[in-house]
Amino acid sequence: MAASSAGAAGRLVSSRQGGGAVRHTEFWERMQLALGIDYMRVWAETHVMSDLDRRTAQEALDAGVPPKQVWRAVWAALGLPDTDR
């Protein structure tokens, strides 16, 4: 199973990893699919979520909150379909 991460220029950099946990690379890939490459970072840095103790996704990740937990909060905030969970 593959995962990707946002590179320094905001592009996806492929680095496939297996496992069931949502890794940082998979988190950013999901963010890009949900919001687009031009908006995902802005949203992650500005949208405060109560599910993350009134933090943004970026603040939560920086504080060590597991990417899977952050994705669940983003998923709920965006009202994404169950298939994207």
pLDDT in tens, 29-72: 999 999 999 999 999 999 999 999 999 999 999 999 999 999 99
State residue 21's pLDDT score.
Answer: 62
What letter represents residue 85's amino acid? R
Mean of the pLDDT values across residues 12-25? 57
Cα 52 to Cα 4, 11, 15, 27, distances in angstroms: 23, 26, 27, 15
Domain that holds residue 76: 4-84
The whole-model pTM stands at: 0.74
pLDDT at 18 over 90: no
For the chain, the distance separating the N- and C-terminal CA atoms, rounded to the nearest angstrom, is 16
Q: What is the pLDDT of residue 28?
A: 96
The residue whose two tokens read 């103790």 is 53
What is the rounded distance in angstroms from the CA atom of residue 65 to the CA atom of residue 37?
A: 22
Nearest-angstrom CA–CA distance, 85 and 71:
8
Of the candidates 27, 49, 50, the one whose C-alpha atom is nearest the C-alpha of residue 40 is: 27
Residue 62, pLDDT score:
96
